[in-house]
């Protein structure tokens, strides 16, 4: 079942959304390495390059003012990078312009909402203390990938620490304002949950799935020959240590030897359905007994040692299992109505001036080829 929910980033200040993205963007300009599943679409530029302005810098013009608060081109660029860098990097070039323009328009509206909520949250009762801001800042620093530089990550987002502190303070104020506005939204009653379950039967059909872990010995870029044979022998030696009389710990071996980013989770790939992995991997994962480690599987990525951790057959999700998700879904719908109503009130009383009211709207930033 798809959740109809507000994207958390839509309600965060632009800088805070960028801060959240600091934990997602690669520490270098290179794309993350593929896991055991299907490779991501290849693009001619890194994610950040796709969102850079054209070769000649564009003027940082004011696009909208909201009760005197300016929303500039750089604010939209920063949010674009925070929210859509990964999607654009995996998107065919011919689809990027349309997507980018739609995203640009939506981001402008999100930032208008942010300004409205930011102004409304300036009351002292919503203010964050210096200690709370420091604590949140330390959480963001701690969430960065190992070896990543906080200052470099901020620089990529066109931020500095002082700007980020201001955005954190605003984010906390908006969060407290929203908590107050949503405090009266009640949990849906059981009969409402059951009615939704009965009326949306197809949404609760669960496809067959497995959860699995693997160790990948990569052979990408290699042709058949001694080097590739050496990699196969390496995988076979690891397999022996996992299936001998005193088996080694799978997670520890994955962390030490796997060439897949999942090594950080002990090789755990999570849960996936049929067809989500490359064919040879898919066949092995869905045919093996839970808890068993079978023969080595070769794919275009290399040699895999696979352990199936769980196997869920297709079927209907029972009501009791679906109940918490339905409750969350319906409550979020009610909360969204409250937020949209509140924003409509704020817009009616605000002085919003758009660039488009006076002159031609600028184009969204273009990809670098």
Pair 289, 308: CB distance under 8 Å: yes
User: In the structure, what pLDDT confidence band is assigned to residue 284 with cuts at 50, 70 and 90?
Assistant: very high
User: In the structure, what pLDDT confidence band is assigned to residue 203 with cuts at 50, 70 and 90?
Assistant: very high
What 3-state DSSP class applies to 205? strand
Q: What is the pLDDT of residue 313?
A: 93
CA distances to 1, 150, 236 from 233, in Å = 44, 40, 5
Copy the structure tokens of residue 208.
């067959």
Task: State the pTM of this model.
Answer: 0.61
Strands 69-72 and 62-66: antiparallel
C-alpha–C-alpha distance, residues 330 and 344, integer Å = 21
**Residues ≥6 apart with Cβ < 8 Å to 324:** none
C-alpha–C-alpha distance, residues 298 and 301, integer Å = 8
**Over 60: is that where the pLDDT of 106 sits?**
yes
Q: What is the pLDDT of residue 85?
A: 82
Terminal CA-to-CA distance of the chain, rounded, Å?
Answer: 38
Q: Is 317 exposed, middle or buried (0-12, 13-18, 19+ CB in 10 A)?
A: middle
C-alpha–C-alpha distance, residues 251 and 242, integer Å = 11
User: In the structure, what pLDDT confidence band is assigned to residue 154 with cuts at 50, 70 and 90?
Assistant: confident
What 3-state DSSP class applies to 88? helix
In this prediction, residues 260-267 reach a mean pLDDT of 94
Q: What is the pLDDT of residue 159?
A: 84
**Over 80: is that where the pLDDT of 315 sits?**
yes
Q: Which of 289, 185, 298, 177 minimizes the C-alpha distance to 236?
A: 298
From start to end of 29-186, where are the E strands? 62-66, 69-72
User: In the structure, what pLDDT confidence band is assigned to residue 357 with cuts at 50, 70 and 90?
Assistant: low
C-alpha–C-alpha distance, residues 93 and 71, integer Å = 28
Q: What's 325's DSSP letter? A: H
In this prediction, residues 158-176 reach a mean pLDDT of 91
Upper half-sphere CA count for residue 135 (Cβ side, 13 Å): 6
C-alpha–C-alpha distance, residues 78 and 18, integer Å = 7
Q: What are phi and psi of 227, to 5 degrees?
A: -65, -40
The enclosing H or E element of 304 equals strand 302-312
User: In the structure, what pLDDT confidence band is assigned to residue 96 with cuts at 50, 70 and 90?
Assistant: confident
**Over 70: is that where the pLDDT of 25 sits?**
no
Q: What is the pLDDT of residue 59?
A: 80
C-alpha–C-alpha distance, residues 349 and 344, integer Å = 9
Residue 86 or residue 45, greater confidence: 86
The enclosing H or E element of 299 equals strand 297-299
In this prediction, residues 181-201 reach a mean pLDDT of 96
Q: What is the pLDDT of residue 32?
A: 37
Structural domains of the chain, with CATH = 11-187+322-357 (1.10.4030.10), 208-313 (3.10.50.40)
What 3-state DSSP class applies to 72? strand
Mutual angle of helices 161-182 and 130-142, in 10-degree steps: 110
Q: What are phi and psi of 269, to 5 degrees?
A: -95, 0
**Over 70: is that where the pLDDT of 114 sits?**
yes
**Over 50: is that where the pLDDT of 170 sits?**
yes
Residue 50 or residue 161, greater confidence: 161
The per-residue pLDDT of the chain, averaged, comes to: 83
Q: What is the pLDDT of residue 90?
A: 82
Percent pLDDT > 90 in the chain is: 63
User: In the structure, what pLDDT confidence band is assigned to residue 327 with cuts at 50, 70 and 90?
Assistant: very high
For 176-207, b/e burial (b = at least 16 CB within 10 A) is bbbeebeeebeebeeeebeebbeeeeeebebe
User: In the structure, what pLDDT confidence band is assigned to residue 2 with cuts at 50, 70 and 90?
Assistant: very low
Give residue-wise pLDDT tens across range 59-92. 889 999 999 999 999 899 888 888 888 888 888 8
**Over 50: is that where the pLDDT of 190 sits?**
yes
Lowest model confidence (mean pLDDT) among 24-28, 246-250, 269-273, 358-362: 24-28
Pair 117, 12: CB distance under 8 Å: no
Pair 273, 207: CB distance under 8 Å: yes
Q: What is the pLDDT of residue 35?
A: 42
Mutual angle of helices 319-348 and 190-199, in 10-degree steps: 100
């Amino acid at each position: 079942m798809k959740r109809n929910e507000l994207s958390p980033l839509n309600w965060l200040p632009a800088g805070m959304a960028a801060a959240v993205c600091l934990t997602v963007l690669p520490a270098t300009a290179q794309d993350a390495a593929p896991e055991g599943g299907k490779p991501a679409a290849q693009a001619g530029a890194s994610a950040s390059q796709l969102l850079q302005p054209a070769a000649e810098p564009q003027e940082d013009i004011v696009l909208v003012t909201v009760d005197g608060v300016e929303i500039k081109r750089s604010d939209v660029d920063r949010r674009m990078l925070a929210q859509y860098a990964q999607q654009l990097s995996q998107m065919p070039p011919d689809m990027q312009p349309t997507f980018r323009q739609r995203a640009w328009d939506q981001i402008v509206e999100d930032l208008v909402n942010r300004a409205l909520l930011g102004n409304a949250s300036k009351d002292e009762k919503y203010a964050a203390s210096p200690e709370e801001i420091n604590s949140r800042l330390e959480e963001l620093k701690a969430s960065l990938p190992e070896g990543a530089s906080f200052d470099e990550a901020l620089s990529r987002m066109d931020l500095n620490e002082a700007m980020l502190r201001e955005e954190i303070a605003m984010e906390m104020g908006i969060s407290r304002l929203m908590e107050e506005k949503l405090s009266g939204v009640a949990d849906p009653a059981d009969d409402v949950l059951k009615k939704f379950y009965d009326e949306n039967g197809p949404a609760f059909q669960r496809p067959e799935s497995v959860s699995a872990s693997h160790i990948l010995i990569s052979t990408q870029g290699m042709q058949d020959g001694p080097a590739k044979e050496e990699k196969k022998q390496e995988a076979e030696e690891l397999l022996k240590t996992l299936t001998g009389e005193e088996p080694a710990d799978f997670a520890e071996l994955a962390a030490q030897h796997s060439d897949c980013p999942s090594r950080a989770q002990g090789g755990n790939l999570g849960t996936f359905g049929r067809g989500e992995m490359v064919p040879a991997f898919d066949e092995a994962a869905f045919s093996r007994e839970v808890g068993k480690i079978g023969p080595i599987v070769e794919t275009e990525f290399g040699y895999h040692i696979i352990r199936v951790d769980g196997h869920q057959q297709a079927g209907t999700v029972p009501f009791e299992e679906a109940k918490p998700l339905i409750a969350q879904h319906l409550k979020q719908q009610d909360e969204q109505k409250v937020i949209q109503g509140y924003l409509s009130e704020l817009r009616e009383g605000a002085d919003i001036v758009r660039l488009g009211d006076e002159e031609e709207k600028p184009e969204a930033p273009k990809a670098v080829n």
